[in-house]
């Protein structure tokens, strides 16, 4: 599967990319480190101020 990033991202490289139906997340500048898990729950925790 291919990595995707938001169409709202600019070319500065300050973004995250997702793949595999939102179960993998990585920094577009440091592509060797990958977070695997429930990215939707991670986003919800950030929105709620729990992280």
| pLDDT tens, residue by residue, 1-51 | 788 888 888 777 778 888 877 688 888 888 888 888 887 888 899 899 998
Domain boundaries, the chain: 3-48
pLDDT of residue 44: 92
The rounded distance, in Å, linking the Cα atoms of 10 and 20 is: 22
pLDDT of residue 49: 95
Give the number of other Cβ atoms within 10 Å of residue 45's Cβ: 12
Strands (E) in the chain, as ranges, are: 16-19, 24-27, 34-36
pTM exceeding 0.75: no
* 39 HSE (CA, 13 A, CB side): 14
């Amino acid at each position: 599967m291919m990595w995707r990033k938001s169409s709202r991202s600019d070319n500065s490289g300050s973004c995250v990319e997702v793949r595999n139906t939102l179960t993998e997340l990585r920094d577009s500048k440091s592509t060797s480190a990958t977070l695997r898990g429930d990215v939707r729950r991670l986003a919800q925790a950030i929105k709620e101020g729990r992280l």
